[in-house]
Amino acid sequence: MSKIRVLVVDDSALMRKLLTELLNSDPQIEVVGTAMDAYMAREKIKKLKPDVLTLDVEMPKMDGLKFLSNLMRLHPMPVVMVSSLTEKGADVTMRALEIGAIDFVSKPKVDLAHSLDDCAEEITSKVKVAARACVNTMLRQKSAEPVRPSQLNNGATPGSEGGSGTYSTTDRVIAIGASTGGTEAIKDVLMGLRPDCPGIVITQHIPPVFSSSFAERMNQCSPLVVCEARDGQQIRPGHAFIAPGDQHLSVIKDGARYRCKLDSNPPVNRHRPAVDVLFESVAETAAHNAVGVILTGMGKDGAKGMKRMHDAGAATIAQDEKTSVIWGMPHAAIEEGGVDHVMPLGRIARQMTELAAHG
Residues lower than pLDDT 70 in the chain = 85, 108-118, 137-170, 359
For the beta carbon of residue 166, count every other beta carbon within 10 angstroms. Answer: 9
pLDDT at res. 59: 78
pLDDT at res. 164: 36
Residues 199-253: tens digit of each pLDDT:
999 999 998 889 999 999 999 999 999 999 999 999 999 999 999 999 999 999 9
Instruction: Please give the angle made by the CA atoms of 128, 203 and 350, to the nearest 5 degrees.
Output: 100
Domains in the chain, CATH or no CATH each? 4-133 (3.40.50.2300), 149-358 (3.40.50.180)
Query: Would you name the residues annotated as active-site residues?
Result: 179, 205, 301
Output the CA torsion 24→28→33→39 (10° steps): -120
Query: Model's pTM, two decimal places?
Result: 0.88
**200 bridge partner residues:** 174, 240
Helices marked H in the chain: 13-24, 38-48, 64-74, 87-99, 112-118, 120-132, 135-143, 182-191, 210-221, 275-285, 303-311, 329-336, 345-358
CA–CA gap between residue 88 and residue 308 (Å, rounded): 39
Closest CA to 230 of 252, 254, 249: 249
pLDDT at res. 91: 87
pLDDT at res. 163: 36
CA–CA gap between residue 12 and residue 18 (Å, rounded): 10
- Residue 296: C-alpha distances to residues 137, 292, 330 (Å): 11, 14, 6
β-strands 248-254, 257-263 pairing: antiparallel
Residues 306-344: tens digit of each pLDDT:
999 999 999 999 999 999 999 999 999 999 999 999 999
CA–CA gap between residue 65 and residue 59 (Å, rounded): 10
